């Protein structure tokens, strides 16, 4: 949350309404229609936004059946937010943190295995997020949802 907020905010102070949908997608909450709860505010400070997100997450059931899943392109865009140098790669630790925040039901050990099984980790402990998304997306499409 903190890293995504920093990327989408105006100097770490607030997020303008136009950036809200991509911010929410980047933290795994794009399909939850949170925008309706806060659409009357032009600027969203961090504590207010965190409280709305926490409240929304508390209302979710333990399954993701009703969640609107993001498209492949949306997922790539969300990862691109963390590719600050534009090289197409992100640190493995940042990927794990992002996936844990997305609340997909993975434990850290499961994420490590998923990353190892789907990506080549380079000498700088970074992965191509496009390769990761492509490989995981192919597996995800095989699962009925």
Residues 42 and 96 grouped into a single domain: no
Same-domain status, 129 and 102: yes
Are residues 129 and 102 part of one domain? yes
pTM of the model: 0.46
91 and 44 in one domain? no
Burial (CB < 10 A; 0-12, 13-18, 19+), residue 44, is: buried
Query: Contact 10/84 with Cβ under 8 angstroms?
Result: no
**Tokens encoding 45:** 């400070």
| Residue 122 burial (C-beta neighbours within 10 Å; 0-12, 13-18, 19+) | exposed
Of residues 29 and 56, more confidently modeled: 29
Residue 61 has a pLDDT of: 35
User: Which residues, 6+ apart, have CB-to-CB distance to 122 below 8 Å?
Assistant: 89
Tell me, yes or no, whether 66 lies in a domain: no
Are 79 and 107 contained in the same domain?
A: yes
23 is a domain residue: yes
- Does residue 86 share a domain with residue 38? no
| Residue 115: CB atoms within 10 Å | 17
- pLDDT tens profile 128-140: 888 888 887 776 6
| Domain assignment present for 13 | yes
54, 76: one domain? no
Average pLDDT over residues 14-21: 68
Give the per-residue pLDDT at 18. Answer: 66
Integer Cα distance of 53 and 37 in angstroms: 10
**3-class DSSP assignment, residue 145:** coil
- Which residue segment(s) compose the domain that 35 sits in? 2-59
Q: Are residues 87 and 135 in the same domain?
A: yes
86 and 135 in a single domain? The answer is yes
Same domain, yes or no, for 78 and 132? Answer: yes
Query: 89-91 and 126-128: which strand pairing?
Result: antiparallel
Q: Select from 59, 88, 104 the last residue of a domain.
A: 59
- d(CA 30, CA 28) in angstroms, rounded, equals 6
- State how many domains the chain has: 2
Q: What is the pLDDT of residues 71-84, one digit of tens each?
A: 777 777 777 767 76
Q: Are residues 76 and 114 in the same domain?
A: yes
């Amino acid at each position: 949350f903190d890293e995504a907020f920093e990327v989408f905010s105006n100097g770490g102070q607030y997020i303008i309404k136009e950036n809200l949908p991509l911010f929410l997608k980047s933290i795994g909450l794009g399909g939850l229609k949170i925008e309706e709860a806060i659409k009357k505010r032009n600027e969203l400070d961090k504590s207010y936004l965190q409280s709305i997100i926490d409240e929304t997450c508390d209302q979710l059931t333990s399954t993701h059946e009703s969640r609107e899943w993001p498209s492949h392109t949306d997922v790539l865009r969300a990862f691109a937010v963390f590719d600050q140098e534009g090289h197409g790669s992100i640190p493995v630790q940042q990927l794990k943190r992002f996936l844990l925040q997305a609340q997909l039901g993975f434990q850290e050990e499961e994420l490590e295995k998923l990353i190892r099984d789907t990506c080549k980790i380079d000498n700088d402990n970074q992965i191509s997020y496009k390769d990761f998304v492509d490989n995981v997306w192919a597996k995800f499409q095989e699962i009925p949802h």
